[in-house]
Every structure is written in structure tokens, then in C-alpha cells.
Chains A and B, each alone.
Chain A
């Protein structure tokens, strides 16, 4: 009896509180920056693609909805995805791909509006996924940490690296 009165009271009190429901889509609800919505591929601070096609997102994906193929542009030595495909009709927005990504390339965004009439339109290729900015991590550049050479960063020029050793030196 007492609990029922309590419940009625709570409901009654809510009559005088602010509405939680918003008039979507006219009014957009607030989404936290770390909300797990539509997946994007971001770029390095220098504007190049961050994704190095390491395949860790694909292997972390519990529903196997990411497929990609590594390629290399001959001129710069970087690894890229030749294609990068996410099947959003299978994606469960778990964020494991983002967690697995060693370069902060793949990120989940607050955009949750992913409805389509046709399931085929839920297949996103690289051109649909790639944005122009750095997303949530503005400063990180994987290639400046990795030891592999790319154009503009020779051996010994990455973070915490010595100049290349001289093999012919006989000094102790």
C-alpha cells in the first residue's frame, strides 16, 4: 500500500519537472562526445589518412562487419587501405574497433542517424567513412612514433629515436 502511494507521488512530482523528451528531429538531443554512433576514419594532423590497414579493427569486430585490403603508395612508403568497407547493417556499435585501432584512425561519433529504406545503402566504403579532420585526438600521428620510414621522416627522425648507427664504425 505504502509503496503504491510512493510511486503515485513520484509520478505526480514529475509533472512539475522539465521534459526529458525532445521534439526530435526538429530538436536534436545532446550526445556526449564519446557516444558510440556512426563510424568514421580520420586523418593525421598533417592531413594524410590515419588508417594503416593493419586489420586490427576487422579482427576485433565481433560481427565481422569490417573488410579492408592493405596497399602502399609507392611515393611515400605509408600503408593505406585500398578499400575499407563497413557493413552498418551488421554493426552493433560496440566500439571494439576504436579500442583496437593503434592509430586513432577509426572513431565512433555521436551521429546515430543510420536508418535506410534499403539495406544496400548501409554498406559504407572508404569515401563514405573518411573525414577531413583528426576527430577526437587532434595531435596524435602514428607515423611519428613508428620506426618505418615515410616521406618526410627518415630513419632516426621518429620520436625517441637515435640517428641510424654506422655499421662500419669500430669504436667500442
Chain B
């Protein structure tokens, strides 16, 4: 630690850290643009000028940039000296010379870092009378709007997009006053992290296009802390609402998980909440096959009669832990099914077993970034859990930080660190069936069918156990890298549905432990609450449950489209008796056949808990009240329990949670404060900003009398602007970030203990499983037989970041990025079959012809079918025959211009 004197006052700071970070960590105000807590300093904008003094007697000092200065003990600086203040306001004046008169029609207005900094420096009057520079904009696709006139050349966009996220299609062009940030030509930004440009850009050059369509200022949005439902990472988000519509998603800082960034599935994948196919009323199917809506009590009565004695319950990995628990209470655990396909559930359970053992580190994403040797076995994480891939991208920089430290370059000196390391990277080995978007940073990649990957894993394990056998092949190099690493990390997942793959990954961890190394094990499930529902354990497997349904037993299907879980013919058979009830948010093929439907709330309309890949349970809160008859699933289940006379009934979320915690994990109570939590013992935390506008006019066309704000008995939040959001409250209860003078998302530093560190009130979430089980033993892996060559192809499920997630697929911005259904072929097989990309292939078992795509890495004899895009789940067919469809016409992707909202 070092002591620094800022304007005469002593402060504690970390020696060697950059001065700007130390100043902000003290929650002092100093304007800046180009520095970003995740990307370090480059000293491009000259905004964070301060005066440094040589010693106590020095009264003149000299001007310097805080972001480029190392903290030294006893250093004396001034933020308030007139010279520094003048300098900063002059810099802003220069930056504003060409800035257009756009604020009223700019989506950044009201949460603009440039606005904040301009006000902070005191520059209020334009003296420049010359003409302004202008630019042509580009169409950057369905997610990102571009308005280049507003640029202040801070370089944050390219530093994030290219250097941090590994994008290839955004660059800085031109020279001197003509710097241009865009693509080489118009077109969709390809990276799945492009949405972060909206938050990274300090002004309105890159804006959220879907949000802009029905734009609302930040101060008018109602929001609450929530969890992204896109995948199993459990990134923390702020969903924001106005006039009953979910308007947008922004990043909610979590020191251990998502940090400052989200992926685009998470950011743009939530518009399903406003979908026109939302089920809004309880309905009973009549003789004619149509639904009769409007009578809730009748629907519940009919449900009671239809379901009969002891119905079975099919849960869901896409709804909260509590909702699944409520269903299990209603039907009894022997009649409860998790709703996950049998094989996938086995994979998840195997992984959970590994994760509960002593000595196994289940890394948070922050820990992933510290790994210095990574093996990715089988999982295409850039598609199944994209945020994880962004962390892996940072992990390969571990070596460059080590090199920089050796060369006495501060690690925050971004240009210096990158320049010194050149192309040196930490070890990253990728073994997947097809090419991944991380291949560009990998030390080495290899491909194989599932059985080949299992064999490869076993071989790595053998090399680790007998180091002398090391040789110069892939397995040998992986073994060498893992053995010499300080923090080795093994990543695998459930998307290939192979238990053996998880077992060999675990075996590698065991052999690392034998060498007294820590072994980090990251398992990526596919859905937001896959782990949660797997932990609940049901007595029924999905196949048995469906068989019982086919036999005529009544069933309750909770937020689960069975057609996305099992082959269509078996689902058809299960649903044919028709005496089942569906509780869901959107219409789907399963709901269409139910005799009763109840409208369930989405994650934005209810409070609950999701359990992420690390078994971290995190609370999400109701953002806004649902419309019509929509209610949380647990409340429908409570009504049903009353009618059926079984299970328990609850009248508030708190009572469900209490019972759930009692019967499952008591930790669930502790992951977030209870509903009586108050700031300064009296204040609730407001969901609305202190300048939420239009209160007395929003509903005036319906009722001139303003309704009383709903009193929230379930959470510590209020449905109004009343209360306090001080920043140091429990980390799970931050509804939005704002601080006086800091209207943009940059204000998040006021909510942190130190810049880019933990939240002031602690990072949210607790792990439900502790590593207390017995030490892991080697699994006896039965290697599946290698591919036969009988003219058929092994089918591998491909996950796509846009297209393989049931709910985000219903979000209209995502729909514009979903490719046409395709079949992925190896180069060799394409040559043998004499097909080229764009031609059509028939795959037996699938009705429609699929467009051919050729993958550079896919082994011959293997084809990839995209999950969620192809009608029949490929799980039904492990091997398939192919034939060319000469009449196939390639369906081009919907262009961003023609997609209609909703």
C-alpha cells in the first residue's frame, strides 16, 4: 500500500496501480474517456490531466495524465488546481468542436459519458464558430446503429472489439482529423460481443438499434436487478421497462462473472417478453379445439377434473428454481421430471458430481481470466456460453502480463503490454468437432468425432500420468502445457451429450491433482437453470414421463416445449391423450395441444432464483407487473394445489422461498436480502430513477385518477422513485447505476469497492455445492466405438449463439441473425458428395432440405446439424444418410431492413 496526497488530503492506494484508477477507487470525480477498467490505459484522450508535485515545497507542479502515471508512495497531486481544471476544460472544448447538435435525437442523451464529462469540466459555451466535420454512416446490421459525426476518437470501440473481443471487422480508418471507426464496407458486425460497443462508446456513435425503435430515456426506465436467461453463465443484467414493454437489457456489473460485458444473445435476446404470441389468459380447450378464455376459476376447476389423481409434473430448465420446486411440491418428487432430456441430464449430473469433490476448483469467469493453460474439450463455448469465450480470450493474455511484469511494464499500460508480448500467448488447446471462433487465439486445435475426442482426452490423461511418455503430438503438448501451468483449466460441456467426455475431462483433473496442481473444471450446461433443475432431482426421467403421458396419465408441463427436447413422433404420442395442462409464457407446439393453458410470467415479471454453471444461485427480481392474467408459475400451481387438494399453497413469493429453502438448500435465503431489507433502516430501493417522468399522464387516457403505486411485499424494492440507491447496499439489490454527475453506466465505479473489483456490497450469489465431497477418483471410461464407415454419417449437434436458444429465438432482433437451416459438412465429404456451399442436401429423418455449409475442421464422416433450427431434434438420429437435393434454392438470411418488429 502507498499513501498519496490528493489536494492535501492523504489517501491509501495500491503502489504501481495507475493513478486514475486509484482516484476513482476513492470515489473522487476525475473526467476521462479512453481509459476503461477492463482495457487499461493508452493515454489517447488527454482528459484526466492532474498536477503532480515533486515534494512538499513544490508549489508549481507539472501537468500529467493520471491514467499514465504509476502510484508511488508519498506522491502529491492535485485535481482541483486551476491549471489542471483549465487544461481539462480546454480538452473538452476541442473534442466538442465537431460534435453535432444531436443530443435531443441521440439515443445516448441522458446517459452519455461525454455529456457528463462536459458538465463536469464546466465547458458550457461554444466559442468555436467554424464549420463541423461530418461523416457518412454505415449500416452495421440489426443490433448496432452508427452515427459517426458524434465520435471523439477515444479508440475505445476498436480496442474493445478487436483487441478485447477478437473481432475482425471493425477498424480505425483514415489519418489525423479524419479518423473513422467502422467496417471496411457496410454490413453486420460479426462478433457476438458487438452489443458492448453501445456501453463502451462514451458517446452516441454506436447505439442499441432495437432499443432505438421504441426509445426511452434512461431516467424514464423502470428496472430491477436480474439474471440473463440466454445461457447458463448467469450474467447479471438490468432489464428495463416502460409502458409495460421490456425496452432493453444492459450490463449489471458482477465482479466475479460478467464484469463489464455481455454477449449479444443476452443483450438483444429478451424481446420475447413483448412477443405477440404471449399467452395472456387462462384458457380451456373446448370441443371445437379452440380455447375459451376469460374465466380463471372455471379453468382451475376444469384443470382439477382433467388432471385426475397424482398427475405427473414436467419441470423446466428455463424457469426459476422456485417454480420448479412448486411443481415438485404439487405432484410429489416421485412424479416430478426435470424436463431435461435423459442423456443431457446424466451429463449434467456427472458434472455436478465432479464439481462437488474436494480440490476441484469451479472457476468464476474472473478466475477463468487468470488461467495460464486451458484445454477446451468438445464444447464450442463461443456458441453455448459466449461470455465464457470472452473470458478465455483474456486468459490467453496471462503470459503477456507475466512478460510485462518481468520487463517492469505496468500491467495497466495496455499498448506497452501488447507491444512487448507481440504474439506470445498462454496455452489454449481446443479439441472440438468443428471450427470455433476461438481458433484464432489457440496454441493448437484439433477435430474429431465424439468418440475420437473421448479417446484424445484419455490419451492426455495417460500422458499426464506418465510424463516420460510425452511426445510431440497434440495430446503430448496439451499434457506438457497443463503440467507446467500454475492455473490449468479444463473446459467441457453438455452440448455433445457425452457423459464420457465429462468423465475424461474429470480424469484429467484427477491426474493434475496427482501432480499437486490445482485443477479448475468448468462445465457448460446449455440453459439458464439447467443446473438448478438438475439439483432438484425428480423421480421420473423425461422418457418415462412421456411414456406415462402417452398412457393417459394427467400431466402439468411447466414452461417447456417438449418438441425441443425429444423427437417429434414420440412427443406427438405423449401429447395425444391431451389431458395435460401447460403453464407457459409463449405459445408453442406443446401448448397448442394442451387442454388447459395458464399464462406464466417471464423472468422480468417475477422474482426467483437461477443456478448458474458454477452452481451459484442468484436472485432475479420482478422488473414490472405482468399484464392481464399473467402470473408467476408458482402462484398458478398454488391455485391448482388448492383444487387438487395436494401439495402446499402460498400467497407470496417470500412464502414459496421459505418453504423451498427449508426443503432444498437453506442457502437460498442468504443469496439476497429478504423483503424487509431497508437502506438506513427506513428506505426501500427504488425501481425508478429520481427523475422518472410522466407519472400523472402515463395512464391518464385510461383513468384520470393516478393509481396508487403497488406495494411490493416480496422484495426490498419500491415501484416508484421513492427510496435510496446509495451504491453500498447489498450487491444483489442494485436496480440501476447512477451517481450525481455520472448519468452514464460509467457511474458503476461508485458502486464498487475498488475499480473493477467487487461490488461495494459484495458480488451477488452463493454456490449451492461446496467442494466437500471425497477426492475425485478416476472414472472408468468406456470409450464409445469409433465411427463405422457404412456410408452413413455421425450427427453432431451444433449450438449457435443465435438460433439454438428457445426463448431468444423469439426475440425479433435475434431473428434477423438466425441463419437458414443448414447441414455442416467436412471439406472431404463435400468433395465426395460433389456439393458446394449453398447447395441443398436431404438428411434422412428431416423433412426439409438443408443448405450445405462446409467446415474447415470437421472430420470426414461427421455432419453437424444446428440445434433449434432443424425441425426434428437431431438427438433422434445419431447417424444419418445424405442425398443431394437438386431442386434446392438457398434461402438467404432475412436482411435487417426487412425484418418487422414482433
List the interface of chain A (C-beta within 8 A of B): 52-56, 58-59, 61, 63-72, 79, 82, 85-87, 89-90, 102-103, 119-120, 122-123, 125, 142, 145-149, 155-156, 158, 160-170, 172
Contact = CB atoms under 8 A, between A and B. Distances in A.
Q: Which 8 A-B pairs rank lowest in CB-CB distance, beginning with the nearest?
A: A147-B100, A67-B694, A54-B104, A67-B697, A58-B693, A64-B695, A87-B697, A87-B700
27 contacts: A52-B105, A54-B103, A55-B693, A61-B693, A64-B692, A64-B695, A66-B693, A67-B697, A70-B215, A71-B213, A86-B697, A87-B696, A87-B704, A102-B103, A103-B104, A120-B704, A125-B701, A147-B101, A148-B102, A149-B137, A155-B136, A155-B137, A160-B131, A162-B131, A166-B178, A167-B135, A167-B180
Nearest to B99: A147
Given A69-B214, A69-B243, A72-B213, A148 B696 contact: no
A85 B104 contact: no
A87 B693 CA distance: 13
Contacts of B105: 52, 54, 79, 146, 148
Q: Which of B106, B176, B694 is packed against the most chain A CB atoms within 10 Å?
A: B694
B134 A161 contact: yes
B416 interface: no
Contacts of B216: 55, 69-70
Q: Which of A59, A66, A120 is packed against the most chain B CB atoms within 10 Å?
A: A59
A102 B103 CA distance: 9
A76 B679 CA distance: 48
Nearest to A147: B100
A67 B242 CA distance: 11
Contacts of A89: 704
A147 B132 contact: yes
B44 to A, nearest CB: 19
Interface residues of B, number: 47
A125 B701 CA distance: 9
**Secondary structure of the B contact surface, majority rule:** loop
B691 interface: yes
Contacts of A166: 178
A66 B694 contact: yes
A148 B147 contact: yes
A172 B215 CA distance: 40
A113 to B, nearest CB: 19
Q: Which of B102, B691, B693 is packed against the most chain A CB atoms within 10 Å?
A: B693
A77 to B, nearest CB: 10
Contacts of A164: 134-136
Given A55-B216, A85-B701, A155-B135, 15 more contacts: A52-B104, A55-B110, A55-B217, A61-B693, A64-B696, A67-B694, A68-B694, A120-B704, A123-B697, A146-B100, A147-B134, A155-B134, A163-B134, A165-B133, A165-B174
A167 B104 CA distance: 27
B109 interface: yes
A5 B308 CA distance: 98
Contacts of A146: 100-102, 104-105
B11 interface: no
Contacts of B175: 170, 172
B220 interface: yes
A78 to B, nearest CB: 8
A122 B693 contact: no
Interface in B159-211: 173-176, 178, 180
